[in-house]
Amino acid sequence: MRTEGAVVPEAGFRSYYGRPVIKPPVWHEPHMPTYLYLGGMSGVSSSMAVMARLTGNPRLARSARLAAAVGASAGAALLAAELGRPERFLNMLRVFKPTSPMSVGSWILAAQSGLSAAAASADLAELLPAAKDMALLATAGDAALLATGLTGPLTATYTAVLIADTAVPAWHEAYRELPFLFAGSAMAAAGAVAMLATPRAQAGPARAVAALGAALETAAGTVMERRLGMVGRPYREGRAGRLMGTARLLTAGGGLLAAVAGRSRVLTALSGLALTAGSLCTRFGVLEAGRASAADPAYTIVPQRERLDAAP
């Protein structure tokens, strides 16, 4: 019936007229993948803003604070628009359910968007002439900023749990690598935005974050596809495969460029744009791979049948 470790194991599997067993994710483009990008960008921007504040790099801190606030707010708006009943988006905060990554994530995102908005507003308020002596405001802003040091990394990585906690084989089986893939993608994205929005002399750490992120994303993606085997095929084939391949090239190229981007404005622009596009391609590619994985019954049936047959 089944060929062991074959490239095309579907030959032997049985199904109901080739119909999918599970339902594909209903999440739309561009909302869902753009949110994944924005959430990641916002989260790591917060981490960068905290570190920039702590190491005394106010120019980079300002860019990162703004990026964090804009990313979280725009992301939350996209999520609300994605709902089947957008007017009921506050129902997300009706309960706190540890068994639901979307519930946990809603609370994380609520905290992240609120805190990052406070941190950014306080920073911008310093620009107002009347705010010169408002030390309290600055302190409150810094406190909010420090808190985003906690919510930021969670915002950047919980989305991996969100999609892995489904019956979609290409997502669920990748639950080990996806958080690192998303973490790397988020670092590359945040580093890119910060290096584009900060004078080069102050953007060194942003370039380092971008380069580290690109390396992490590339490594996690490679390990993921290798370990998943047959279930990972949607990441390599069709539209998802093209998106993931493009992402790989853009991310690796942008990451390498980030290492030398401090030398010129052109290199910075090239690196920042390549990394941004790469991170977006990764997110769109992962959604598309999930859809392809759900649409083909082989990915659901073959591993389950092998598991059953292997059981005593």
Partner 1 sequence: MAERMGFFTDTSVCIGCKACEVACKEWNQLPDDGFVFEATSYDNTGMLGASTWRHVAFIEQSRPVQVPSDPEAEDSVDRWLMSSDVCKHCTHAACLDVCPTGALFRTEFGTVVVQSDICNGCGYCVPACPYGVIDRREGDGRAWKCTMCYDRQLGGLEPACAKACPTDSIQFGPLDELRERAEERVARLRADGHEEARLYGESPSDGVGGAGAFFLLLDEPEVYGLPPDPVATTRDLPAMWRWAGAAALSVAGAVALAFLNGGPGLKSGTSLNGGTFLTGGAGPKGRAFLKSRAFLKGRALLKGRALLKGGTR
Q: Map the footprint of partner 1 across residues 203-262, applying CB under 8 A.
A: 203-209, 211-213, 216, 258-262
Per-residue mark of binding to partner 1, 28-47 (x: CB under 8 A): ---------------xx--x
Class of residue 27 by CB neighbours under 10 A (exposed 0-12, middle 13-18, buried 19+): middle
Nearest CB to partner 1, comparing residues 84 and 129: 84
What DSSP line would sit under 167-198, residue for residue? S-HHHHTTTTTHHHHHHHHHHHHHHHHHHHHS
Q: Which residue stretch of 129-137, 173-181, 224-232, 238-246 sits at the interface with partner 1 (rule: CB under 8 A)?
A: 173-181
Query: Exactly one of 36, 38, 41, 48 binds partner 1 (CB under 8 A); which one?
Result: 48
Binders in 252-311 for partner 1, by CB under 8 A: 258-263, 290, 294, 297, 300-301, 304-305, 307-308
Q: Are 48 and 92 spatial neighbours (Cβ–Cβ below 8 Å)?
A: no
Among 8, 11, 29, 94, binds partner 1 (CB under 8 A): 94
Specify the 3-state DSSP secondary structure of 29: coil
Q: Structure tokens of 112?
A: 């992240």
Please report where in the chains the tokens 């092998």 appear, as a residue: 306
Q: How far is CA 274 from CA 27, 34, 60, 190, 264, in A?
A: 26, 16, 20, 12, 15
Draw the binding track, 182-201, toward partner 1 (x: CB under 8 A; -: no contact): xx--xx-------------x
For partner 1, which residue of 71, 101, 114, 234 counts as binding (CB under 8 A)?
A: 101
Whose Cβ is closer to partner 1: residue 172's or residue 246's? 172
* Residue 132 in contact with partner 1, rule: CB under 8 A: no
Q: Which candidate, 168, 121, 127, 159, places its Cα nearest to that of 140?
A: 121
Taking the least distance from each CB to partner 1, the nearer of 146 and 246 is 146
By CB under 8 A, name the one of 20, 238, 245, 253 that touches partner 1. 20
227: tokens are 């370990």
Q: Which of 77, 121, 126, 172 binds partner 1 (CB under 8 A)?
A: 172
Per the structure block, which two tokens stand in for 196? 């584009």
Stretch that binds partner 1, among 4-12, 115-123, 140-148, 243-251 (CB under 8 A): 140-148
Within residues 65-84, the interface with partner 1 by CB under 8 A covers: 82-84
Of 150, 223, 270, 273, which lies in the binding site for partner 1, with binding defined by CB under 8 A? 150
Q: How far is CA 185 from CA 44, 102, 122, 151, in A?
A: 10, 20, 28, 17
Q: What gap in Å lies between CA 78 and CA 86, rounded to an integer?
A: 10
| Chain mean position to CA 312 | 40
Q: How far is the CB of 179 from partner 1 (least distance, A)?
A: 4
- The answer, yes or no, to whether the previous bond of 58 is cis (omega within 30 of 0) is no
**Which CB, 258 or 275, lies closer to partner 1?**
258
Which residue from 4, 5, 7, 16 is in contact with partner 1, where contact means CB under 8 A? 16
Half-sphere exposure of 18 (CA within 13 A, CB side): 2
Nearer to partner 1, 166 or 246 (CB): 166
